[in-house]
């Protein structure tokens, strides 16, 4: 295994507790709120890891005990703060900025290796965008989730509205959660298929469970694993006949 310390950054902590598995933990205190530099580092890190043949599985988690991420840092982000003089150019600037943000989250989906998301504690707003872009999701039994963007006058336009309905396979439930902005919890997340496992033991418990699952995937043929993810993402795939 290559030295994974190269993936440490200002906002991420990287370790390899299991052979060929990278544990990448969000580490921006106090609540992993995302601002521009945070999501830019996410994008750059995932793109680099994607090219590392020694990393076969990524476990994506939080470094903090009670929270996965509180979502977007509305005070620090530049979204909606264009310096352009007219409304049309302000809209262009905002569109370009959001497109870069969307690409950062999509990097988790496009990453060659499977990404297992270990959700603990509070995971709202952008947390659902991130988790939806991952391949497998586990959560703690005390996890609190929510598509809360409507509560602050936003649409969840960083990927949740596109991915979440396909994951849960229930348009009515997806719209209910997105339009009400109500919170949902571990049992409901498992019931609707958003997570595949609910784990006790808090942050450590869910990370350990994710690492155990990663350890089952990592020994498999990396070519087969990469190909399987690629095909299941349906990228450039001709219709089956």
Beta strands in 50-150 (DSSP E): 57-62, 67-69, 115-119, 122-124, 136-140, 144-146
Integer Cα distance of 10 and 4 in angstroms: 15
55 within some domain = yes
How many structural domains comprise the chain? 1
Within a domain: residue 38?
A: yes
Query: For residues 203 and 140, is the Cβ–Cβ distance under 8 A?
Result: yes
Question: What digits encode the pLDDT tens for the residues 13-68?
Answer: 999 999 999 999 999 999 999 999 999 999 999 999 999 999 999 999 999 999 99
- Name the residue with tokens 């544990």: 23
Give 61's Cβ-side CA count (13 Å radius): 29
- Per the domain annotation, does 238 fall within a domain? no
Q: Is the pLDDT reported for residue 189 higher than 90?
A: yes
CATH number at residue 225: 3.90.226.10
Q: Is residue 241 part of a domain?
A: no
Record the pTM: 0.91
Is 240 part of a structural domain of the chain? no
Least confident of 15-24, 64-73, 85-94: 85-94
**What DSSP designation does 238 have?**
P
Does 130 reside within a domain?
yes
Which residue range is the domain that position 30 belongs to? 4-232
What is the pLDDT confidence band of residue 157, given thresholds at 50, 70 and 90? confident
């Amino acid at each position: 295994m290559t030295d994974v310390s190269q993936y440490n950054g200002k906002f991420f902590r990287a370790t390899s507790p299991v052979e060929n598995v990278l544990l990448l933990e969000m580490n921006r205190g106090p609540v992993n709120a995302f601002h521009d530099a945070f999501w830019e580092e996410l994008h750059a890190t995932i793109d680099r890891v994607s090219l590392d043949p020694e990393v076969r599985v990524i476990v994506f988690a939080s470094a903090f005990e009670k929270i996965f991420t509180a979502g977007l840092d509305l005070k620090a982000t530049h979204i909606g703060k264009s310096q352009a003089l007219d409304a049309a150019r302000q809209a262009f600037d905002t569109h370009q900025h959001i497109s870069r943000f969307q690409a950062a989250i999509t990097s988790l989906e496009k990453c060659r290796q499977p990404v297992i998301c270990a959700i603990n504690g509070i995971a709202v707003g952008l947390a659902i965008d991130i988790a939806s872009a991952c391949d497998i999701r586990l959560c703690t039994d005390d996890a609190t989730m929510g598509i809360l963007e409507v509560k602050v006058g936003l649409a969840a336009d960083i990927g949740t509205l596109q991915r979440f309905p396909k994951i849960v396979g229930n348009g009515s439930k997806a719209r209910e959660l997105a339009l009400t902005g109500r919170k949902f919890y571990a049992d409901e997340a498992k019931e609707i298929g958003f997570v595949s496992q609910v784990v006790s033991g808090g942050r450590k418990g869910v990370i350990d469970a994710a690492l155990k699952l990663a350890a089952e995937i990592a020994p498999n043929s990396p070519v087969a694993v990469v190909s399987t993810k690629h095909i299941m993402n349906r990228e450039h795939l001709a219709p089956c006949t």
